[in-house]
Amino acid sequence: MAFSVLVIDDEEDIIRLLRYNLEKEGYSVDTAPNGIDALKKAGTNSYDLIILDIMMPGMDGYDVCKKLRTHPTHLQTPIIFLTARVGELDEILGLELGADDYIQKPISPRVLLARVKRILRRKDELVKTETVVAPEILRINGLVINRQNYTVNVEGIEKFFPKKEFELLAFLAANPGRVFSRDELLSRIWGESVQVVERTVDVHVSKIRDKLGTLSDHIETVKGVGYRYQIITSRT
């Protein structure tokens, strides 16, 4: 069965270019010219991947991404941002919202297809790995992390975590006591070929800590190295 891809862009030329190249590789392609139409389609269909332009009139790609990440069907759907904007802050903002990759225009079809293949391959690998070894529900230090529906319960209260924040928290909590460098976390959570900066990890950790409240000290900063999830048996 072919992977299904939703392409969202207000430029007809980009839509045609991506549709042609993706269908040539055997993907099933659906398109939307704006955020409103995209959300309507995403509300009634499931997709294996979403390619989303940032600079669109009306509802921009950031807002579309936020809304997609609150929809049960698309909590885990990989998203690639397309943009002509350049800058670290734009990149960090996009990845904070739960995007899996970030590609600048003008688009090289060869580069895009390589990223698409990598992300879908990684998605398959994660599904297989989690099916075999990862518990669906992780309970630790007052946290209940449900990998199946991407929910986090903090001391009896359910909190919303965007995709990457969820994956980062779940990964650290599943490996308590082990220190991971920022590079390791970038590689494991975002993938080796995604061009992101180390500060992205720091930003995500900060947001996770805010949501954990009194449990935030379980995520420990190891100076000069990275982070670990520390099990604290008693509090003073």
- Per residue in 31-40, is it b (16+ CB within 10 Å) or e — as a string? bbbbbeebbe
Contact 215, 208 (CB under 8 A): no
Instruction: Please name the residue that has the structure tokens 């739960």.
Output: 98
135-229 and 4-131 share a CATH fold: no
Q: Is the pLDDT of residue 131 over 50?
A: no
Describe the chain by its helix, strand, coil percentages, rounded to 5: 45, 20, 35
d(Cα 234, Cα 186) in Å, to the nearest integer?
31
Model confidence at 130, in pLDDT bands (50, 70, 90)? very low
- What are the residue boundaries of the structural domains of the chain, listed by start? 4-131, 135-229
Looking at the domain 135-229, which fold is it?
Answer: Arc Repressor Mutant, subunit A (1.10.10)
Query: What is the C-alpha separation between 91 and 113, in angstroms, rounded?
Result: 20
How is residue 226 annotated by DSSP? E
Q: By percentage, how much of the chain surpasses pLDDT 70?
A: 86
Summary mean pLDDT of the chain: 86
Domain covering 4-131: architecture: 3-Layer(aba) Sandwich (3.40)
Kind and range of the H or E run holding 200: helix 199-212
Q: Is 51 exposed, middle or buried (0-12, 13-18, 19+ CB in 10 A)?
A: buried
Instruction: Pick the closest to residue 143 from 230, 81, 83 (CA basis).
Output: 230
pLDDT digits over 10-32, tens only? 999 999 999 999 999 999 999 99
The model carries a pTM of 0.62
